[in-house]
Structure 1
């Protein structure tokens, strides 16, 4: 499936009714979600089990399933977001499992983890539990972070390694009172991370 077609489908995914600023509940824009997922798809990483950590209303999880992932599980600590996520999956006609739990409690194994973790703008370090869990449960991780995060992520994930990364834009719609513009575009980076013992793949 072409990236643009996926983006059009993902535009049907409904966002949060009452986003929580402390959880940095910004919906992943369809454009950015399609970009990350198409990247993973082209690398052959969306064929097996996929976990979406901090899945919110299901944007990345649903997209992974549309692109052919065998089994997709979305994890989030917000039951209200998961209720919308289930409705979104039904609306798009895909079967995705959703689990309500803190990211630190996630267990099991996925070939691929996709995630748009909190950037730590409201609660410093809130992206770290996501990275730790992703490295524990997944062989390959695709993650979105603030621009300028490369040095920190490289050090934090050792001995895992970044195989590829690039800059892109994240258009954030006015969501909270402190937002001054209707849409603010921030620079972000998308990373592909693999565990050290998977480097031969």
Structure 2
């Protein structure tokens, strides 16, 4: 499936009804989700089990399943968001498992982790549990971070390594009262992370 076709399909994914600012519940825009997932797909990383950490209403999890992942599990601590995620998966006709868990409690093993963790704008360091869990449960991780996070992420994930990364835009729609524009585009970085011995994958 072409990236643009995936993006159009993911535009049908409903967002949060009442987003929680402390959880930084910004929906991953369909354009960015399609970009990250197509990147993973072209690297051959969506063939097996995929975990979406902090899946929200299911954007990345559903997209991974659409692109052919064998099994997809989305994890989030917000039951209301997961109710919407289940509705979204049903609407798009894909089978995705969703579990209500604190991200620190996620166990098991996935070939690939996809995630758009909190950037730590509201609660400093809130991206760290996501990175820690991803390193424990996944062989390969695709993660979105605020522009300028490269040095921190590189050090935090050691001995895992970033094999590829690039800058892109994250269009955030007006979600909370403090947002001044209808759409604010912020610069972000997408990282592909592997365990050290898998860096040639």
Secondary structure of residue in 1 paired with 2:117:
coil
Which segments of 5 or more consecutive residues in structure 2 lack a partner in the other structure? none
Matched residue, 2:62: 62
Superposed CA deviations along residues 118-176 of structure 1, whole A, max 9, x for unmatched, are: 00000000000000000000000000000000000010001000000000000000000
Task: Flag the 1:89–1:145 CA change in 2: closer, same or farther, 3 A.
Answer: same
1:121 maps to which residue?
121
Partner Cα distance (1:154, 1:70) in 2? 29
Deviations 1:76-116 (A, max 9, x none): 00000000000000000000000000000000000000000
How far apart are residue 200 of structure 1 and its match?
4.2
Alignment partner of 1:145 is 2:145: yes
Please list every run of 5 or more consecutive structure 1 residues that lacks an aligned counterpart in the other structure: none
CA distance in 1 between counterparts of 2:36 and 2:144 reads: 8
1:101 — aligned with what? 101
User: What residue is the counterpart of 2:48 in the other structure?
Assistant: 48
Aligned residues between the structures: 201
- For 1:47 and 1:96, the matched residues in 2 are separated by 14
**If the length of structure 1 is used for normalisation, what is the TM-score?**
0.99
Matches within 5 A, 1:1-201: 1-201=1-201
Question: For 1:109 and 1:156, how far apart are their aligned partners in 2?
Answer: 20
The separation in 1 between residues aligned to 2:57 and 2:147, in whole angstroms, is: 24
CA distance in 2, matches of 1:198, 1:166: 20
Give the superposed CA RMSD.
0.5
TM-score w.r.t. the length of structure 2 is: 0.99
CA distance in 2, matches of 1:154, 1:46: 23
